[in-house]
């Protein structure tokens, strides 16, 4: 039955949770990088020992960490063997974690290499890496979505990063505005049937697609409608919280928007609402069952001002029809006085059979279901607030 590894990024460190294929008992390792905000942690599909972490501090900025042994040890890519990872005063050695900007969007002139988080050397300030998306085939290639919204890629395992400047240079760029959490590029989807195709989502700009490997980008937001923006049907400006896709149906996309759960059947060219009978169509997460491409999961939140479950009941909702008709999944979840949130990167599914579904909360719980959502149990409690959850099925 194999084994499974759940990766949880939290406000104060990273945790690695492992279990056998039965997924009943779990070994908890961590915290790694205790006290640091771990905005996202994800493993490479091409090498199950390779993990990447986005590590952020208000004092020291943004660092990328890498593990080559499944999370047992970590290092900053680019440091020489034996080189210290901290300065004499304890400050992390982040100078080798450089993100390279090919050209200035203002002047078009080449830019020199400098640290990722340094607003003094470039007029565009990068605050954190929101999402890391490793290549499906190459463990050394990873995409990074950052705040303020831009997309980077490394092809050497994180030693150097280059911006895919065509995205930020899109003509609609001046119209992008921050959502409540910032101007973050938070979703990156790689189409395994078409290596040149990729989708990204930005809050609050919308969804964009490239069909040429990231050189040019197209806004794909037709059908989205958002109140409180000057043009509710605008091409860009929509606060998309998360997008998801099943690899066997690459033209079908699902979206949890600021309000509304949406679906596209034509690779994002058009969208239609599938919120159906949900108690609230506001939320952050959306994911797709590993073996059933029409089965999707969301966690409704009461409103954009009250970030907790409706009626204080933590409920995952599942649709087996790709939307519109939803059922509440409550077995094992608190149904009274529960006021946690589930953030946009905090849900994942494994590829075991039956499919496992996992999510983390701002209350520090990580819940898991080994039966596709029918029943739930806490894997671990009392972690710091969970920012991201990813999962790997291990052979």
Q: Is the pLDDT of residue 204 over 80?
A: yes
CB 308 within 8 A of CB 301: yes
Beta bridge partners of 6: 17, 391
**2.130.10.10, 1.25.40.10, 3.40.605.10, 3.20.190.10: CATH of 72-92+123-379:** 2.130.10.10
Mean pLDDT for the stretch of residues 25-51? 95
Whether omega before 31 lies within 30 degrees of 0, making that bond cis, reads yes
Is the pLDDT reported for residue 374 higher than 50? yes
pLDDT tens-digit readout, 84-138: 555 444 445 444 344 444 444 444 443 333 334 333 444 445 788 999 999 999 9
Q: pLDDT by residue (tens digit) across 279-321?
A: 999 999 999 999 999 999 999 999 999 999 999 999 999 999 9
Which 3 state secondary structure label does DSSP give 121? coil
Its sign, for the CA torsion 82, 87, 89, 92, is negative
The single residue listed with the structure tokens 């600021």 is 258
**Distance from C-alpha of 113 to C-alpha of 105, rounded to nearest angstrom:** 15
Is the N-terminal amide bond of 12 cis, ω within 30° of 0?
no
What predicted TM-score, i.e. pTM, was given to this entire model? 0.90
pLDDT tens, position by position, 164-201: 999 999 999 988 988 888 899 999 999 999 999 999 99
The whole-number pLDDT of residue 79 equals 54
């Amino acid at each position: 039955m194999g084994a499974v590894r759940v990766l949880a990024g939290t406000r104060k460190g990273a945790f690695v949770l492992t279990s056998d294929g039965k997924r009943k008992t779990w070994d908890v390792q961590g915290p790694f990088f205790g006290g640091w905000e771990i905005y996202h942690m994800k493993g490479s599909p091409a090498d199950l020992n390779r993990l990447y972490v986005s590590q952020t501090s208000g004092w020291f900025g943004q660092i990328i960490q890498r593990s080559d042994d499944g999370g047992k040890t970590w290092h900053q890519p680019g440091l020489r063997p034996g080189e210290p990872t901290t300065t004499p005063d304890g400050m992390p050695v982040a100078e080798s974690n450089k993100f390279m900007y090919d050209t200035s969007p203002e002047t078009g002139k080449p830019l020199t290499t400098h640290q990722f988080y340094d607003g003094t050397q470039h007029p565009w300030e990068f605050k954190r890496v929101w999402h890391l998306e490793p290549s499906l085939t190459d463990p050394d290639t990873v995409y990074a979505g950052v705040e303020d919204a831009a997309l980077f890629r490394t092809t050497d395992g994180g030693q150097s990063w280059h911006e895919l400047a065509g995205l930020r240079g899109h003509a609609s760029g001046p119209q992008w505005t921050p959502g409540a959490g910032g101007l973050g590029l938070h979703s990156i989807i790689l189409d395994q049937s078409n290596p040149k195709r990729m989708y990204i989502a930005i809050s609050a700009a919308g969804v964009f697609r490239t069909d040429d490997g990231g050189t040019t980008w197209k806004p794909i937001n037709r059908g989205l409608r958002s109140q409180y923006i000057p043009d509710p049907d605008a091409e860009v400006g929509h606060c998309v919280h998360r997008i998801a896709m099943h690899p066997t149906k690459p033209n079908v996309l699902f979206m949890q928007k600021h309000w509304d759960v949406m679906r596209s059947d034509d690779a994002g060219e058009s969208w239609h609402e599938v919120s159906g009978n949900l108690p609230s169509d506001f939320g952050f997460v959306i994911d797709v069952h590993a073996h059933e491409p029409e089965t999707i999961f969301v966690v409704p939140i009461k409103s954009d001002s009250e970030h907790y479950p409706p009626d204080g009941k933590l409920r995952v909702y599942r649709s087996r029809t790709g939307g519109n008709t939803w059922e509440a999944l409550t077995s094992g979840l608190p149904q009274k006085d529960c006021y946690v949130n589930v953030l946009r990167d905090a849900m994942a599914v494994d590829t075991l059979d039956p499919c496992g579904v996992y999510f983390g909360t701002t209350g520090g719980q990580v819940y898991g279901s080994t039966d596709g959502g029918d029943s739930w149990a806490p894997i671990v409690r009392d972690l710091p607030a969970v920012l991201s959850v990813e999962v790997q099925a291990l052979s």
